[in-house]
Structure 1
Amino acid sequence: MKLGYHIGYWSSGPPEGAVEAIRTAEELGFDSVWTAEGYGSDALTPLAWWGAATSRIKLGTNIVQMSARTPTATAMAAMTLDHLSGGRFVLGLGASGPQVVEGWYGQPYPKPLARTREYVEIVRKVVAREQPVTHDGRFYQLPLRDGTGLGKPLKATVHPLRRHIPIYLAAEGPKNVALSAEICDGWLPLFFSPRSDDFYRGALREGFARRGEQPADFEVAASVPVIVHDDVEQAADLIRPALALYIGGMGAKTMNFHHDVFARMGYQDVADKVQELYLGGNKAEAAAAIPTSLIEDTSLIGPPAKIREELAAWEESVVTTLLLRGDAAMLRKVADVLS
């Protein structure tokens, strides 16, 4: 199983020690480094800036939000970064949710699966650069269907370094996971649990069946909290606030994809309680309501021996890469435990 480094979201500014951590990840033999975007920093600029300090490690976005850019703009950025990195770029895409899409980008959030399919298709066409790009879809038209009539099909002036840049799809629901297997090169799960492996294998099989094959190099890069600590409860306490935010506050009560993941995992009552407390302004109580068992299902926490024992279940799952977070010292510590 490969290791990757996920820098994560910025808070009020750039994370301290990011370049040192990225260089450490490359030194330790990590396979990839990833950036994120929500409604603060973007994913592409830091990846280019910090990625310039590396020479081997893959550079990925986890994720570029589709509503933030047109498909052609994303394809342009992908080709640019692929050239600048010498063919190390991985494009991680995601639909995000209506709270961000409508509230921040001012874009509608209809039919995310169909929209994702069109988006990926256009990006593929631009990068392949086989002919001027046209697309007559429900969500995207190239040239624009009801414009001035002066638009014409265009082909990128830049020749791609690679005519096929890997695209990974961030997905949590079964239909979106199946879509990643059907049209993409990888899947970026969040809150994956080895207990749910059969469920996700089924979704991936459905997508591969529609594709007509299962690519041997299909990647599943899962963000997994790993905390080496002699006290399991203290380690769990470090994760609880972030989980409470995702389960309770990342989305509306009527539509929260993260909440749904834990409900499917068997924690419906817990997820409902955490959401109720969090949306009611009781964030500390929401975090305290998360049982350690839920954290252990989606994380690797505790003493080294415990983590090594539980790692076996992850190695037997569909996951091909564990994405870790933290500073350079943490990466060295965790890499030593997982190696």
Structure 2
Amino acid sequence: MSVGIWTFAFDEQPVGEVVEAAREIEELGFDSIWFGEYRGREAFTQAGLLLAATRRLTVATGIARFSERSPHAAAAAGRTLAEAHPDRFVLGLGGHLPGDRPLRRITEYLDGMDAADLSVPAAPPRRVLAALGPRMLELAATRTDGAHPYFVPPEHTAIAREALGPKGYLAVEQTVVLDPDPGAAREFVAGYVGLAAHHRANLRRLGFTDEDLTDVSDRLVSAIVTVGEQAAHDRIRAHLDAGADHVCVQVLGDGLREKWRVLAGLV
């Protein structure tokens, strides 16, 4: 299994503890660390810290937000990390850009990155898009190295693999609750369904109804979050069997480092 860790938790911890956690994740045998960019550290700076703290781990932004920097700045930062840590940085891009026609705006952003006049000698890092719907998956297939779907069941992974073709890199996020606490799973799903229109649209494409979304049905919760150790193992395998190259696992709850040790034993 090609499995990594996906986490928001680093933003809440002092840098020294983040470095220790990254080193332990590497020692446990995971292949990667993925982290988001919201109200915490700047994505490329944090990626540099994690890369410097480890020796072999892939470090990936999941995602660096379009709105936080210009295309030129994103291209330059990505090239710098790729030069310093060859084949270990994945640039995941996503989020929203102001204005109408978001797909066109994202295409223009990628155009700007590709046109950046840089003297950095390294090649660009692997670049993936946070893609869910068919148009974004098509853009990921034609303009980047692949896709990083978030908040999706294995059924979506099969759709994404078909859209990307056999060579596109597909790194899928999967949320798990290792403790027997289904309440945490429901709270997580309700939060995204309530706030994120693009996730609601994607779930409808996958066959979930307005009733599923409004009531946060058991069917919806179990499709997105697994509860229990065996269920986590089986869901990771299901994503890989559906065509994922890599599964990055987001573990909910407190005591994450202990939970990561448990997860390492499963995979």
Q: Could you say whether these structures have the same fold, taking a TM-score greater than 0.5 normalized by the shorter chain as the test?
A: yes
Aligned partners of 1:74 and 1:123 also within 8 Å: yes
Instruction: Work out whether 1:186 is the aligned partner of 2:149.
Output: no
SS at match of 2:183: helix
Displacement of 1:334 after TM fit? 0.9
For residue 118 of structure 2, what is the aligned residue in structure 1? 156
Q: Determine helix, strand or coil for the equivalent of 2:5.
A: strand
How many residue pairs match? The answer is: 262
CA contact (8 A) 2:19 2:49 kept: no
Q: In the superposition, relative to structure 1, how do residues 9 and 121 fare at CA in structure 2: closer, same or farther (>3 Å)?
A: farther
8 Å contact from structure 1 (residues 24, 331) kept in 2:
no
Q: Show CA shifts across 1:262-285 (max 9, x none).
A: 222222223542xxxxxxxxxxxx
**How has the CA–CA distance of structure 1 residues 313 and 59 changed in structure 2, closer, same or farther, with 3 Å as cutoff?**
closer
**Which entry has the higher C-alpha Rg, 1 or 2?**
1
In 2: Cα distance, 1:308 partner to 1:76 partner: 38
Match of 1:266, SS state, is coil
Aligned counterpart, 1:270: 211
Residues 295 and 325 (structure 1 numbering): CA distance in 2 closer, same or farther, change over 3 Å?
same
Partner of 2:45: 45
Aligned-partner SS, 2:247: strand
* Alpha-carbon distance between aligned partners in 2 of 1:320 and 1:87, rounded to the nearest angstrom: 16
Please list, as runs of the form range in 1=range in 2, the aligned pairs for 1:225-244 lying within 5 A after superposition: 225-229=175-179, 231=180, 234=181, 236-244=182-190
Could you tell me which of 124, 129, 133 is aligned with 1:169?
A: 129
Aligned-residue offset at 1:53: 1.0
The unaligned stretches of length 5 or more in structure 1 are: 102-107, 127-154, 206-213, 251-255, 274-288
Q: In the alignment, what sits opposite 2:222?
A: 296
The code of the aligned residue for 2:250 comes to R
| SS of alignment partner, residue 216 of structure 2 | coil
Q: Deviations over 1:53-96 (max 9, x none)?
A: 111111211111112211111111112222333442211111x2
Alpha-carbon distance change, 196 to 85 in structure 1, aligned in 2, over 3 angstroms: closer
Structure with a larger share of its residues in helix:
2
SS of 1:190's equivalent in the other structure is: coil
Provide TM-score, normalisation by structure 1.
0.69
Give 3-state SS (helix, strand or coil) of 1:5's partner.
Answer: strand
Deviation readout 1:166-217 (Å, 9 max, x if unpaired): 1010012111012111111120001221233443344335xxxxxxxx53xx
Task: Flag structure 2 segments of 5+ consecutive residues without an equivalent.
Answer: none
The within-5 A match list for 1:99-248 is: 101=97, 108-126=98-116, 155-157=117-119, 159-161=120-122, 163-205=123-165, 214-215=166-167, 218-229=168-179, 231=180, 234=181, 236-248=182-194
| Contact kept? 1:191, 1:261, Cα under 8 Å | no
Secondary structure (helix, strand or coil) at the match of 2:121 reads coil
Provide the C-alpha distance between the structure 2 equivalents of 1:325 and 1:18, rounded to a whole number of angstroms. 16
Summarize the Cα distance change of 1:310–1:41 in structure 2 as closer, same or farther, 3 Å threshold: closer
Whole-angstrom CA distance in 1 between matches of 2:195 and 2:107: 28
Segment of structure 1 superposing worse, 163-172 or 32-41: 32-41
| CA distance, structure 2, for counterparts of residue 272 and residue 312 of structure 1 | 26
Q: Aligned to 2:129, what secondary structure does the other structure show?
A: strand
Question: Do the aligned partners of residues 270 and 160 (structure 1) sit closer, same or farther apart at CA in structure 2, a change above 3 Å counting?
Answer: farther
Give the TM-score of the pair, scaled to structure 2.
0.86
* 1:164 Cα deviation after fit: 3.4
CA–CA separation in structure 2 for the residues paired with 1:71 and 1:223? 25
Percent identity, please. 29
The structural deviation recorded for 1:40 is: 4.3
* Per-residue deviation, 1:15: 6.9
Q: Is the 8 A contact 1:224 1:298 kept in 2?
A: yes
Residue 238 of structure 1 deviates from its aligned partner by: 1.3
Q: Distance in 2 between matches of 1:330 and 1:191?
A: 20
> For the Cα contact (< 8 Å) 2:79–2:124, is it kept in 1?
no
